[in-house]
Amino acid sequence: MNKKQRGLLAIFILILSSILISACTQSLSSAPAVTSTPIPPDLFVSPFPSVENPMAMIEEFGKQTQAAQTAAASGGTPQPVQSVVPTTPPAITPAVAETGTPTNAAPAAATTAVVVNSTPVPEGARPATYTLQNGEFPYCIARRFNVDPDALLKASGLTSPDVYYEGLTLTIPQSGSFPGDRMLANHPTTYTVGSSQETLYSIACKFGNVDPAAIASANGIAVSAKLTSGQQLQVP
């Protein structure tokens, strides 16, 4: 190898070394470009509108409510109030009819056995209890046994003289007396049965202080006998 060739070789080695050194100083790879994904502005929006002045909103709601109530009271058409929470209407309790006409219909669940009292009650004697028969009601029983009607209802756990039915057992007070005349119609007399629906019990109630067993005994029939329209009965 001559001098010229050695010089070219040295230049070549120098160039090759420079390339290798330059390659070692470069990074192997570049980091990927960072891209940001925009978030929709309404993704986390509250479903409730922001209120800058909550007291003003409350005051406005109160005005609307008062306006609606005033319109309803005056007979006008009330304007709807926004954001009013519906309330549950109160339960309606049916009122007990306050009539003087006895009601003998028994409740569906009533299964009390009817006890027939066939023995006349002596004057001044009072049984501890009494079971209502067809055509009877507490007030006439109070007349028959000479007891205060209010005391009879209270002792029997009743609140109205119209709350009764056939088979209802009354508790008879052992003190007090009926406030007034116990006789509703004069007797002894003859009574004409007006309907086959009448009973000796209902007829006794028409006279006030007569026991149905006494009427049965005076006519020689059973106290539970079926009556006919036009039948004549002696009332002692």
Model pLDDT for residues 175-200, shown as the tens digit of each residue: 999 999 999 999 999 999 999 999 99
Return the number of other C-beta atoms located less than 10 Å from residue 214's C-beta: 18
Same domain, 158 and 193: no
* Spatial CA neighbour of 61 closest among 80, 43, 48: 80
The answer for residues whose C-beta is within 8 angstroms of residue 205's C-beta and 6 or more apart is 135, 136, 137, 140, 143, 144
* Spatial CA neighbour of 141 closest among 106, 169, 119: 169
Check which CATH number belongs to the domain holding 135 and give it: 3.10.350.10
Buried b (16+ CB within 10 A) or exposed e, 33-64: eeeeeeeeeeeeeeeeeeeeeeeeeeeeeeeb
138, part of any domain: yes
**Is 137:199 a contact under the CB 8 Å cutoff?**
no
198, part of any domain: yes
Q: What is the pTM (predicted TM-score) of this model?
A: 0.49
| CA–CA dist 43, 60 (Å, integer) | 31
The answer for residues whose C-beta is within 8 angstroms of residue 91's C-beta and 6 or more apart is none
7, part of any domain: no
96, part of any domain: no
Same domain, 163 and 194: no
pLDDT confidence of residue 86? 41
Domain hosting residue 147, numbered range = 129-171
Same domain, 135 and 164: yes
The count of structural domains within the chain is 2
Look up residue 2 and give its DSSP letter: -
- The model's pLDDT over 54-113, given as tens digits with 9 standing for 90+, comes to 455 555 555 565 555 555 555 544 444 444 444 444 444 444 333 344 444 444 444 333
Return the number of other C-beta atoms located less than 10 Å from residue 153's C-beta: 20
Give the pair of three-digit tokens for residue 224: 């539970």
* Spatial CA neighbour of 152 closest among 124, 172, 176: 172
25, part of any domain: no
pLDDT confidence of residue 93? 42
79, part of any domain: no
230, part of any domain: yes
Same domain, 164 and 193: no
* Spatial CA neighbour of 137 closest among 164, 159, 160: 164
89, part of any domain: no
